[in-house]
Amino acid sequence: MGDKRPSSSFKLAFPWQCRAQRLAGSMKSTLIQVFFRLVEPSGGKIIINGIDITTIGLHNIWSRFGVIPQEPVLFEGTVRSNIDPVGIYSDEEIWKSLERCQLKDVVAAKPYKLNSLVADDGNNWSVGQRQLLFGASYVEAQPALVHGRGHSFS
């Protein structure tokens, strides 16, 4: 019995956002497995930002993709410590990350800016803001993101 999986093709230019949202059996999980190379494609290429990801090491793939859960976990501390827990980024890089995640204006409006409080689990932020804050930690270090929203990924 031959392989009955359909062949798919699409192009995305960086920066990109892709959402796969359909009923069960629409290959959402397969798409994620292929992006993270948990399964290897039986043919063709997976090109992201001009690079065929089937030709580079798994560490390079896994260090450049991230999954943002529908309800991300934030830690008690500050905006800065949640985005950059080991202190490797400058304020400028953190602000740029917040801007790319469309959270810069919200943080800039807070009295303590990057040092604004994040309560345990981020409960003093809305769910959408927690997702964006969680995502901001990926932006500088990881050029491509996979964003999980329940049963969809973007």
Residue 41 is which amino acid?
P
Enumerate helices (H) and strands (E) in the chain, giving the number of each.
6, 7
pLDDT over threshold 60, residue 3: no
Count the Cβ atoms, other than its own, within 10 Å of residue 82.
Answer: 21
pLDDT value of position 5: 52
For residue 107, the enclosing domain spans 77-139
Residue 106 lies in a domain: yes
Please count the structural domains in the chain: 1
pLDDT tens readout for residues 50-97: 778 888 888 877 777 767 777 788 999 999 999 998 888 899 999 999
Place of tokens 């798994």: 58
Residue 95, CA distances (Å) to 22, 89, 107, 110, 147 in order: 35, 10, 9, 13, 21
Q: Are strands 51-52 and 67-68 parallel, antiparallel or unpaired?
A: unpaired
Q: Is 107 within a domain?
A: yes
